[in-house]
Structure 1
Amino acid sequence: MNPPASSSTNSSDAKISVRRARFTTKWELIHNQRAQIVEITLANLFPTFTLSKSTSITSNHSISVTGNGIETVRPGSLVRLVPGDQARVDVVVTGTSASNAGKNATVEIRDNQGNIVGSFGGWQISPLVEEWTADADVLEKHEVPTWWKKAKYGIFIHWGVYSHPAFAPNGTYAEWYDWNLHNPPDASSPVWDHHLQTFGPTVVYDDFIPNFTASKFNASAWLDLFDKAGAKYFVFVTKHHDGYALFDTQNTTHRNSVHLGPKRDFLQDLMETAKREKPNMHRGTYYSLPEWFNPDYAKYGFGSWPGGLAHNAFNNSLLEPYTGHLDIDDYIDDLQVPQMLDIALKYDTEIMWCDIGGPNKTLDVSAQFYNHAQNQGRQVTINNRCGAVPDFDTPEYATFGAIQTRDWESNEGMDPFSYGLNKATDPSQYKNATSIIQTLVDIVSKNGNFLLDVGPNAEGEIIAPMANNLLDAGNWLEYSGECVYDTDFWFQSSQDQVENDLNLAPARFTTTPTSLCVIAFNEPSSGKLVIQKRLPILPGDQVFLQHPNATIRGTELEWSVGETGKLTISVTEDQTKDVKNAWAFKIVYAKT
């Protein structure tokens, strides 16, 4: 691969370079044929301190890819690139057949007059995968779809038998009730003690199955809530570590909601309702690869997933039942793989969100999953907990402190300690709208997605404190979402609070081809917002506060940049007072 070259544009003295041209495995349907997405990273080679109109790209430039039969069917667009900055654009091409693999392509940049102002060759062609095979070196090429990158925000749903006891001591997961009841099986365990005092020593975990009634479950109501909350996808827990599934597991086991308890296939209800009523909301599924006490998992057991029947927590000489268990030969071949394939092929999940890892045949499952979706014209994704070839990483109750080049999604409960409903948590401790929004914005500014969990009760209700907090966050996204959805991170990263400078508020940055958003976490004071960074803002650009009042949202704000590059945006208290949670300022680049 040739080193990046540089070129001067006709519209300015800016020096633009192609840092990277990557032929992805992502595609779009163009005239019913798959067209490949090529991700181009561009840079302005001038140092940051030279920022001016003359050293910046300030007009629309189109980016195309040529060579060896390649045709650009949709060029990338670049409107602004200032010294020291970078930008990523997608170019959609055809003609990258297998016969072109390993050959070189050229990236061409044209100004708004159609003149070629930069040509950068030597980028190796890697064509789309026509058929996915169960080989790690093939599957590792797979990556998250464009829709996932644009979505940014999803809802996680932990719901099951554990939603009836709904208890965990502070700092632990309520959905781990069955495990914590048995580990340790004595008074040193808060769960063991709670169970003894609340249910008595003769009640075992499986006795809770009839209490999981789902009598108030309403798929439409759930989806309406997620939609109003601003979420663009959901991930539904189909089976947790207790082995109780919320879908028809056929002849692998009858430990599911179709045969036991409510006698309903909740996964089918949710997926079909989403397809029919919320076609733009993407559908995902969580699946635990191991099961704590499945007798057939003992062959593969490890750590907190040993397999084998549980000993009664109050009488160690007794074994507890594994209700619904069927005789099978092998847990992986006869239970795990068929269930995963049903979720992928029968229920048409778009996100295979596994948990725990351990022994698996994910390579085989992934290949069938990808081919099935591809044949339907869909693009799907798989996380890093399935045991092989992940598309994205999943930090749990944690985020990263800086921009990540690899795709990632942070997941955590609205409850500060639990995914499943925990009645011991006071609702005042739930993440409020401010926490949700600022966490989301922070993650998006670092190239990630946010998967926020709710835990319905055993009747199938998402309780009011959780629902209300989701709706409050959705209100902010209603008027500020254009600074979140379908954005990219800004390469210069964030601004954090500086001690003794109240005007220098913590802020995050997101970009689009035609704008940059500054999202402040504190309400601006003294009539101004101060950003101590050299933003890509130039004379003629307009700044607007994202506001629930359309008149204020359409009012241009005054701004200035000092000699050190510090940006000051003038904004009155009357303009900011009705904004909650975070203050998003959109810088719209002037068209020249």
Structure 2
Amino acid sequence: MKIKTLVALSLLLTAGANVPAAPYEPKWESLDRRPTPAWFGEAKFGIFIHWGVYSVPAWAPVGQYAEWYWQCVLSKDPKKAAWRPYHEATFGAGFDYRDFAPQFRAELFKPEQWADVFARSGAKYVVLTSKHHDGFALWPSTEASRTWGRPWNAVETGPKRDLLGDLADATRARGLTFGIYFSYYEWFNPLWLSDRKRFVDEHMIPQFKDVVTRYRPSLIFNDGEWEMPSAGWRSEELLAWLFNESPVRDEVVVNDRWGGETRHKHGGYWTTEYAAGLADGSHPWEENRGMGHSYGLNRAERAEDYRSTRELVLLLIDTVSRGGNLLLDIGPAADGTIPPLMEQRLLEIGDWLRVNGEAIHGTRPAARAAQWTEGKRPEQAYGDYQVRYELLEQVGQQPRDGRAVKQVFFTQKPGTLYAITAGWPGRTLTLHDVDLPAGASVTLLGVSGELKVERRGAALVVTLPDLGPDEAPSRYAHVLKLPGATVKR
């Protein structure tokens, strides 16, 4: 009873403001008028979880996706030539991927422990794969086992447990918003291979409505849409049901993956994947990526293949400063444990957010996303993933020419501007084109007392505390709070 009460309260709190109750027609011109519920723009940071049968082999060549194991082992694409030899050498030439399902036991899965880690990370929402492209469902989906002709959900085989429901309850009990990833298509589903229309009508749509009705997700990350246009998936009809009739019609947030033609055009927030994100917040958007390269656990990835906590914190800051959300993925093991390196990254991000989270959660971009205070950097940084990461890796470092690269990111709330410095800025920080009201009290988050501020021409010079290496309030980046300040366009 207590958990049900907390779930109901969580759903009320996550309901989006200003989402009209008027019916939406099953047409994009009507569906696209629905505003994204307000909670999504406030949350900023979420946890993505790829977990399923593919977590048993948990392998891919470094740089590829381990959750695509089944498809890649059977692929004839020369770029995937390493998969089949690995599979045959490790499991045997005749071993069927579907026989991994009983080995996906999740015997050490403790949803409350997962939820504790997520809450301590500073994330505000959690998105679990309800099923990936292999079609294996983490809830008691009758459609999954019926169309596959064998037990193909986590309640009938493997864990023999409702993994989706257990995590939904645990995360909501910690005050987090719960969402799901849902794959439209399934690589080798017999019905998909024989009759796509029947697959949509008799399998996909009933399964989608079942998982939404059972677990009431406040976010749906749809995927696998590229195989057909939205008309083939009946997406307009499905979204009209979701927005008009479903139990989450008021608070549900959806992405833009509803047909081969819909990304960055139709649906809710725009998605970017292992990319630089978008330049501004003119439309809600979210960058999603893993800590290494794979979403599902890849045992071939080593520590050096993972982004450092510093890089992930700067990625979060950079994304939020441009109006986006960051959905950071973890890939748990088949036994239900979160790999320690992934857990460490999350907890260290949480350490930073405990001090500086007010400059992230609930903020909006300032007029200018960032200032490079020293060094000339290319404008294409916002459009190119590799260039962007090269720049973030240099922030606060000492390049070969001896000039320190400094960057200031800006976020804002009504009446307050936040200037976020990548790395410790030194004894003074110069801000250009910032208007600060006379007498405003400028502070450094995590440190008591006001900071000295001088106006030198068009520049604002802030004197920071004389702190030793172990006295800084946080690591990786630091936040100045400037009440009443604005950034000139």
Fold conserved between structures, TM > 0.5: yes
Return the match for 2:103 from 181, 205, 211: 211
Aligned to 2:372: 496
Gaps of 5+ in 1: 1-27, 38-127, 302-328, 548-552
CA contact (8 A) 1:29 1:377 kept: no
Q: Distance in 2 between matches of 1:35 and 1:393?
A: 20
CA contact (8 A) 2:278 2:324 kept: no
1:529 paired to 2:401 = no
Moved over 6 A (4+): 185-188
CA contact (8 A) 1:186 1:193 kept: no
The one-letter amino acid of 1:528's match is T
- Give the C-alpha shift of residue 138 in structure 1: 1.6
Aligned to 1:558: 452
1:571 paired to 2:465 = yes
Q: Distance in 2 between matches of 1:273 and 1:504?
A: 43
- CA deviations 1:282-329 (Å, max 9, x no partner) are 11100111111112112567xxxxxxxxxxxxxxxxxxxxxxxxxxx8
1:262 paired to 2:151 = no
Q: Distance in 1 between matches of 2:435 and 2:203?
A: 54
> Are the structure 2 counterparts of residues 377 and 356 from structure 1 closer, same or farther at C-alpha, using a change threshold of 3 Å?
closer
- CA deviations 1:382-438 (Å, max 9, x no partner) are 1011235411111001123622411100000012x1000000111343233212211
- Give the C-alpha shift of residue 186 in structure 1: 8.5
CA contact (8 A) 1:524 1:571 kept: no
> Are the structure 2 counterparts of residues 567 and 339 from structure 1 closer, same or farther at C-alpha, using a change threshold of 3 Å?
farther
Across the two proteins, how many residue pairs are aligned to each other?
Answer: 433
Aligned to 1:132: 24
3-state DSSP class of the match of 1:296? helix
CA contact (8 A) 2:451 2:462 kept: no
Q: Distance in 1 between matches of 2:136 and 2:255?
A: 22
Aligned to 2:193: 298
- Give the C-alpha shift of residue 252 in structure 1: 5.0
Q: Distance in 2 between matches of 1:167 and 1:483?
A: 38
Structure with the greater alpha carbon radius of gyration = 1
3-state DSSP class of the match of 2:328? strand
Q: Which structure is higher in helix share?
A: 2
3-state DSSP class of the match of 1:495? strand
CA contact (8 A) 2:280 2:323 kept: yes
1:450-461 matches, within 5 Å, as: 450-461=326-337
Aligned to 1:518: 419
3-state DSSP class of the match of 1:492? strand
1:588 paired to 2:456 = no
Q: Distance in 2 between matches of 1:534 and 1:300?
A: 61
CA contact (8 A) 2:130 2:164 kept: yes
> Are the structure 2 counterparts of residues 538 and 175 from structure 1 closer, same or farther at C-alpha, using a change threshold of 3 Å?
same
Aligned to 1:12: none
1:538 paired to 2:465 = no
> Are the structure 2 counterparts of residues 241 and 188 from structure 1 closer, same or farther at C-alpha, using a change threshold of 3 Å?
closer
1:424 paired to 2:300 = yes
- Give the C-alpha shift of residue 183 in structure 1: 1.4
- CA deviations 1:503-547 (Å, max 9, x no partner) are 76112100011211111112112x11222x211322211211122
> Are the structure 2 counterparts of residues 186 and 446 from structure 1 closer, same or farther at C-alpha, using a change threshold of 3 Å?
closer
Q: Distance in 2 between matches of 1:523 and 1:540?
A: 25
1:365-404 matches, within 5 Å, as: 365-372=238-245, 378-387=250-259, 389-400=266-277, 402-404=279-281
Q: Distance in 2 between matches of 1:467 and 1:241?
A: 26
Comparing 263-272 and 236-245, the one that deviates more:
263-272
> Are the structure 2 counterparts of residues 411 and 251 from structure 1 closer, same or farther at C-alpha, using a change threshold of 3 Å?
closer
CA contact (8 A) 1:289 1:356 kept: yes
> Are the structure 2 counterparts of residues 29 and 298 from structure 1 closer, same or farther at C-alpha, using a change threshold of 3 Å?
closer
Aligned to 1:272: 169
3-state DSSP class of the match of 2:117? helix
- Give the C-alpha shift of residue 574 in structure 1: 3.3
- Determine what percentage of the aligned residue pairs are the same residue: 32
1:427-446 matches, within 5 Å, as: 427-446=303-322
- CA deviations 1:59-93 (Å, max 9, x no partner) are xxxxxxxxxxxxxxxxxxxxxxxxxxxxxxxxxxx
3-state DSSP class of the match of 1:363? helix
- CA deviations 1:431-464 (Å, max 9, x no partner) are 3321221111100010100000000000011011
- Give the C-alpha shift of residue 169 in structure 1: 0.5
Q: Distance in 2 between matches of 1:351 and 1:300?
A: 29
Aligned to 2:213: 345
CA contact (8 A) 2:310 2:476 kept: yes
1:150 paired to 2:42 = yes
Return the match for 2:124 from 232, 237, 251: 232
Q: Distance in 1 between matches of 2:298 and 2:417?
A: 40
> Are the structure 2 counterparts of residues 434 and 34 from structure 1 closer, same or farther at C-alpha, using a change threshold of 3 Å?
closer
Q: Which structure is higher in strand share?
A: 1
Gaps of 5+ in 2: 1-10, 146-150, 376-400
The one-letter amino acid of 2:442's match is V
Structure possessing the higher relative contact order (Cα contacts under 8 Å, 6 or more residues apart): 2
Q: Distance in 2 between matches of 1:191 and 1:174?
A: 10
Q: Distance in 2 between matches of 1:133 and 1:352?
A: 20
> Are the structure 2 counterparts of residues 299 and 494 from structure 1 closer, same or farther at C-alpha, using a change threshold of 3 Å?
farther
The one-letter amino acid of 1:431's match is R
- Give the C-alpha shift of residue 29 in structure 1: 9.3
Q: Distance in 2 between matches of 1:512 and 1:398?
A: 26
- Give the C-alpha shift of residue 377 in structure 1: 8.2
Q: Distance in 1 between matches of 2:248 and 2:414?
A: 31
The one-letter amino acid of 2:123's match is A
- Give the C-alpha shift of residue 129 in structure 1: 4.4
3-state DSSP class of the match of 1:577? coil
Aligned to 1:485: 361
Q: Distance in 1 between matches of 2:124 and 2:475?
A: 22
Q: Distance in 1 between matches of 2:49 and 2:354?
A: 22
Cα-Cα RMSD: 2.6
- Using the size of structure 1 for normalisation, the TM-score is 0.69
Comparing 209-218 and 246-255, the one that deviates more:
246-255
Q: Distance in 1 between matches of 2:243 and 2:131?
A: 22
Q: Distance in 2 between matches of 1:175 and 1:511?
A: 38
Q: Distance in 2 between matches of 1:512 and 1:412?
A: 27
Q: Distance in 2 between matches of 1:497 and 1:239?
A: 46
Q: Distance in 1 between matches of 2:79 and 2:450?
A: 64
The one-letter amino acid of 2:283's match is R
CA contact (8 A) 1:187 1:193 kept: no
1:21-420 matches, within 5 Å, as: 36=18, 128-184=20-76, 189-253=81-145, 254-275=151-172, 277-278=173-174, 280-299=175-194, 330-357=198-225, 358=228, 359-372=232-245, 378-387=250-259, 389-400=266-277, 402-415=279-292, 417-420=293-296
The one-letter amino acid of 1:541's match is A
3-state DSSP class of the match of 1:431? coil
CA contact (8 A) 1:186 1:192 kept: no
Comparing 460-469 and 561-570, the one that deviates more:
561-570
The one-letter amino acid of 2:61's match is P
Return the match for 2:409 from 481, 502, 508: 508
Comparing 481-490 and 329-338, the one that deviates more:
329-338
Aligned to 1:78: none
Aligned to 1:20: none
Aligned to 2:348: 472
